[in-house]
Amino acid sequence: MAKTKIAVLISGRGSNMQALIEAAQDEDFPAEIVLVASNNPDAAGLEIARAAGIETEVVNHREFDDRESFEEALDSTIRLYGARIVCLAGFMRILTPWFTERWRDLLINIHPSLLPAFKGLHTHERALEAGVRIHGCTVHYVRPEMDDGPIIGQAAVPVLPGDTPDTLSARVLQAEHALYAQCVALACSGKARVAGERVRLQVREFGAELLMNPHD
Ligand code: GRF
């Protein structure tokens, strides 16, 4: 089976990246991670990637005069490794439309909320403040607007009495790891294509925790 080459972009601990690395060890997984890149030289995830034998690169945004030149360097690095799909996994730089349009429908993000609720940061605190009973995570194709774009999959978790941002975050993170691997597999096997700003899924069976897009 021909595998799709993917790059994973991180800025920090890299637990979603690690989940993708583990999923990609399965010979039936349709993607191969050719590069883990970080804007942060101290990202803990870089060590995890190296230990797994994956190529890593640092493109430190602080070494560039502006966002454009940083993104051009990031883009060239990704292309150097032949990646066809880019997965953001806790990548903490806002990307300009230049980058997101260059990778339109090939750039995937995971966000720790059920979008379109709670875009941006501190999603677990905000979910608790809002008193929602259900929270979760979303994997979506990236559009220029932050935390926006066609949704590939979502996973829901309950908000339980006594939850703190930490306990809720841990529950969501566990769901993230399963969801991200499933969604990247769908995208890399051509089973999650964008049509009319919705993702059309071509799947007979779906993980129980993935919520189907009602338009399919
Ligand atoms: C995750 O919650 C992800 O949804 C968000 O940033 C966090 C990154 O965590 N975009 P990790 O680095 O993957 O552990």
* CA 189 vs CA 2, 51, 106, 167, 198: distances in Å: 10, 27, 12, 34, 17
Q: Ligand 1 pocket: which of 36, 87, 176 to mutate (most atoms <8 Å of CB)?
A: 176
The answer on 56 and 127 residing in a single domain is: no
Its domain, for residue 24, covers: 1-103
Q: Ligand 1 pocket: which of 110, 152, 172 to mutate (most atoms <8 Å of CB)?
A: 110
Q: Report how far Cα 163 is from the mean position of its chain's Cα atoms.
A: 25
The answer on 156 and 127 residing in a single domain is: yes
The answer on 43 and 24 residing in a single domain is: yes
The answer on 211 and 122 residing in a single domain is: yes
Q: What total of structural domains would you count in the chain?
A: 2
**Global confidence as pTM:** 0.95
The answer on 129 and 72 residing in a single domain is: no
> Which of 82, 103, 124 delimits the end of a domain?
103
CATH number at residue 53: 3.40.50.170
Average pLDDT of the chain is 95
The answer on 193 and 124 residing in a single domain is: yes
The answer on 3 and 85 residing in a single domain is: yes
- Residue appearing with tokens 């189907």: 212
Window from 2-16, 102-116, 158-172, 202-216 with minimum mean pLDDT: 202-216
pLDDT attached to residue 207: 56
Mean pLDDT of 67-85: 98
The answer on 175 and 125 residing in a single domain is: yes
> Which of 80, 103, 126 delimits the end of a domain?
103
CA 13–ligand 1 middle distance (angstroms): 8
Long-range CB contacts (< 8 A, 24+ apart) of 123-128?
Answer: 124/165, 124/166, 124/168, 124/169, 124/172, 125/165, 127/159, 127/168, 128/159, 128/163, 128/164, 128/165, 128/168
Active-site positions read 111
pLDDT attached to residue 204: 73
* CA 26 vs CA 59, 148, 174, 192: distances in Å: 29, 30, 19, 20
The answer on 199 and 147 residing in a single domain is: yes
The answer on 125 and 94 residing in a single domain is: no
CA 37–ligand 1 middle distance (angstroms): 15
- Is 175:139 a contact under the CB 8 Å cutoff? no
The answer on 164 and 93 residing in a single domain is: no
pLDDT attached to residue 215: 46
> Which of 103, 132, 154 delimits the end of a domain?
103
pLDDT attached to residue 216: 46
pLDDT attached to residue 198: 97
Residue 4 beta carbon below 6 angstroms from any ligand 1 atom: no
Which residues have a Cβ under 8 Å from the Cβ of 141 and sit 6 or more positions away?
104, 105, 107, 108, 109, 149, 150, 152, 187, 194, 199
